[in-house]
Amino acid sequence: MSTPRLLLAYLRARPLTTLLTVLLVALGLATVVVVTLVTRQAEARLVRDAAGVDLVVGAKGSPLQLVLAGVWHLDVPPGNVPLESLAALRANRLVASAIPLSLGDSFRGFRIVGTEPGYLALHGATLARGRVFEAPMQAVVGARVAAETGLGPGARFVGTHGLAPGGPEHGDAPYEVVGVLAPTGGVVDRLVLTPLESIWLTHEGEPSDEAERRILEAEREITLVLVRYASPIAAATLPRAINASERLQAASPAFESARLLRLVGVGVDGLRAFGALVLAIAALSVFVALFQALSDRRRELALMRLLGASPARLFGLLLAEGLALTAIGVVLGLAIGHGAVEAAGRWLALRGEWTLTGLDFDTIEWAYAAGALALGGVAALVPAWLAARTPLAAALPDA
């Protein structure tokens, strides 16, 4: 016989109450854990995709839209900018590097991005097979694209105009796949990369003479430029200078992603509040369970006093019971939370969307677990205090 065994005997004596209380704690904590893991991984992904990009320069419009289109490839770009802007940016000594992107076409829903090999380095992408594009109409495809479309080195495909599937095909200009990228877990997995020239060639008609060719070349455009600053001073001056121009707009991914997360954050906070509410109800359930136990066990508590247990012992026993209920719930809640995220991650992986893993752990979960435990302990305080005051006389009903 030991205190834990005594505790276990009481928990098992009322399986339904115990189960209900444990489940409430578990579900409350699981909700908070799921919200935490999903937002954390989403943020990590947003930040990783934006790594190395200090500024996105594109056509006038919504800065958030520009960043969504240029960094995360989630929105359509606001418009195009002249090719000279790229040269102008590269000439600026505040700019360390500038990578152009040309958007507008897609292949089976995957975006075809006209760019330069520097874009691969920006995302830390390496080749799994083949080589990097060297000439127009050559393409390197992301891991996800290769897996879903079956494209590999040597394969040919035709782009579709527009970013959604089902647009008119550029039938006269097929691409040739020269390389496949290794999975990065980032946005590059879902892109088809090709030199800028491919986009121009696909969209320009065949020039009839040299003069027309020069005109076409002079009119060439790109969609946006990913800029990395040369020095911190650039952050203060460069965006303002660009935004003062007539056609260009500069947007900071860091600033825009913070703004985006603030917008989404309202919903996330709502979910967190819901989890906290369930936890509060769970604490109430701990209180009710113990309070009920108090009246059920008045004689037994007095009997324990009779058998030598001090009031402090009874206080400890009830407190431990509340903590044990919560602790089991906490362990179960962590398991359910991580399990749910992992299950969702696998399901999403099957559909080729966001990558989520339940094997992630945020240190704030310790705080949540400790908070839930503390809540259970506080809920147990009053019943425990009342238990400690059980009069000895209750053991022996007066004859």
145: phi then psi, degrees, rounded to nearest 5: -60, -45
Of 313, 378, 381, 382, the one binding other proteins by CB under 8 A: 313
Contact track, other proteins, 214-243, x by CB under 8 A: ------------------------------
Of 15, 171, 205, 308, the one binding other proteins by CB under 8 A: 308
Of 13, 348, 364, 370, the one binding other proteins by CB under 8 A: 13
Among residues 216 and 306, whose Cβ is nearest to other proteins?
Answer: 306
C-alpha separations of 345 from 42, 67, 78, 188 in Å: 12, 26, 32, 19
Instruction: Output the smallest distance, CB 288 to other proteins, in A.
Output: 19
Q: 185 in helix, strand or coil? A: coil
Instruction: Output the smallest distance, CB 282 to other proteins, in A.
Output: 23
Instruction: Output the smallest distance, CB 309 to other proteins, in A.
Output: 5
Amino acid sitting at position 207: P
Of 251, 304, 319, 334, the one binding other proteins by CB under 8 A: 304
Candidate segments 110-118, 158-166, 218-226, 298-306, binder of other proteins by CB under 8 A:
298-306
DSSP 207: P
Instruction: Output the smallest distance, CB 395 to other proteins, in A.
Output: 7
Instruction: Output the smallest distance, CB 183 to other proteins, in A.
Output: 56
Candidate segments 7-15, 18-26, 34-42, 201-209, binder of other proteins by CB under 8 A:
7-15
Q: Where are the alpha helices (DSSP H) in the chain?
A: 3-13, 15-49, 63-70, 84-91, 118-122, 143-149, 196-203, 210-218, 233-244, 253-296, 298-306, 311-350, 364-388
Q: 10 in helix, strand or coil? A: helix
Within 379-398, the residues that bind other proteins by CB under 8 A are 392-393, 395-398
DSSP 393: G
Of 4, 9, 273, 367, the one binding other proteins by CB under 8 A: 9
Contact between residue 320 and residue 10 where contact means Cβ atoms under 8 Å apart: no
Instruction: Output the smallest distance, CB 3 to other proteins, in A.
Output: 8
Among residues 307 and 359, whose Cβ is nearest to other proteins?
Answer: 307
Instruction: Output the smallest distance, CB 316 to other proteins, in A.
Output: 12
d(CA 204, CA 309): 92
Over the Cα atoms of the chain, what is R_g? 31
C-alpha separations of 252 from 44, 58, 204, 260, 339 in Å: 17, 11, 32, 12, 36
Residues at the site binding other proteins, with contacts judged by CB under 8 A: 1-3, 5-6, 9-10, 12-13, 300, 303-311, 313, 392-393, 395-399
